[in-house]
Amino acid sequence: MTPRIGVLALQGDVREHMHALAACGAEPVAVRRATELAAVDGLVLPGGESTAISKLLEVFELLEPLRQRLREGMPAYGSCAGMILLANEVLDTRPDMHTLNGIDMTVRRNAFGRQVDSFETDLEFTGLDDGPVRAVFIRAPWVERAGADVEVLARVPSGPAAGTIVAVRQGNVMATSFHPEVTGDLRVHRLFVETLVRPRAGV
């Protein structure tokens, strides 16, 4: 079965995720309406501007349908802004921002600094073979608190932010601070697609 995976297409780097999903054997679908959300097996929440995406979720009447699908166990993956949206608590953001409560974590928005502080590094990533992942951080968040049921998949290996959590998974929901869709390395997307093809035990 080919999984039909939506990419939230309200703002952000939608096209790159759709290309990565297609290369992993999934059928990517742009999601802008509740009817489109209802027709997919899983969802990717792309990088972009988290407060803008939060507002657009309301405008397009997707906020509650998306929260409901997550409560029902829909697999989801969020990169950068997507990680922020999937948290149940966000620091350094607007008070009117809406979160989706997909992962029991506290995320700090723009934790690594401004656009000029964007950087790349190699990460050891739990569950991925063939060496470290080249991670691109662009005005990225980090995870300040991960709940007891949250699996930490990657941490920053060195530098001032050494040990900081930048990739997590809880059940069928995964999130990364960085942008794997811009490097050509498909392993993170493939790991997510496998969640739909082979659901994880105990989920």
Question: pLDDT tens across 84-115, in order?
Answer: 999 999 998 888 889 999 999 999 987 776 54
State the residue range of the domain holding 128.
Answer: 4-197
Residues listed for the chain: 203
Give the integer Cα–Cα distance in Å for 164 and 161.
Answer: 6
Give the integer Cα–Cα distance in Å for 127 and 51.
Answer: 31
Q: Is 174 left (phi over 0), alpha (psi -120 to 50) or beta?
A: beta
Residue 194 φ then ψ, to 5°: -65, -25
Any domain includes 38: yes
pTM value is: 0.93
With bands split at pLDDT 50, 70 and 90, how would you rate the model's confidence at 120?
confident
Any domain includes 142: yes
Any domain includes 139: yes
Quick: pLDDT tens for 45-74. Answer: 998 889 899 999 999 999 999 999 999 999
- The crossing angle, in degrees rounded to 10, of helices 63-71 and 50-59 is 100
For β-strands 119-123 and 133-137, DSSP reports them as antiparallel
Any domain includes 70: yes
In this structure, what token pair is assigned to residue 15?
């096209």
Whether the CB-CB separation of 193 and 3 falls below 8 Å is answered with: yes
User: Is-catalytic flag, 179?
Assistant: yes
Whether the CB-CB separation of 14 and 30 falls below 8 Å is answered with: yes
Q: Count of domains in the chain? A: 1
Any domain includes 203: no
Any domain includes 30: yes
Convert 59-98 to b/e letters by CB count within 10 Å (16 or more is b). Answer: ebebbebbbebbeeebbbbbbbbbbbbbbeebeebeeebb
Which of 16, 24, 98, 181 does the annotation list as catalytic?
181
User: Is-catalytic flag, 80?
Assistant: yes
Instruction: Report which residue type is found at 110.
Output: N
Which of 17, 80, 98, 189 does the annotation list as catalytic?
80
Any domain includes 202: no
CATH of the domain at 181: 3.40.50.880
Any domain includes 77: yes
User: Is-catalytic flag, 24?
Assistant: no
Whether the CB-CB separation of 100 and 118 falls below 8 Å is answered with: no
Arithmetic mean of pLDDT over the chain: 91
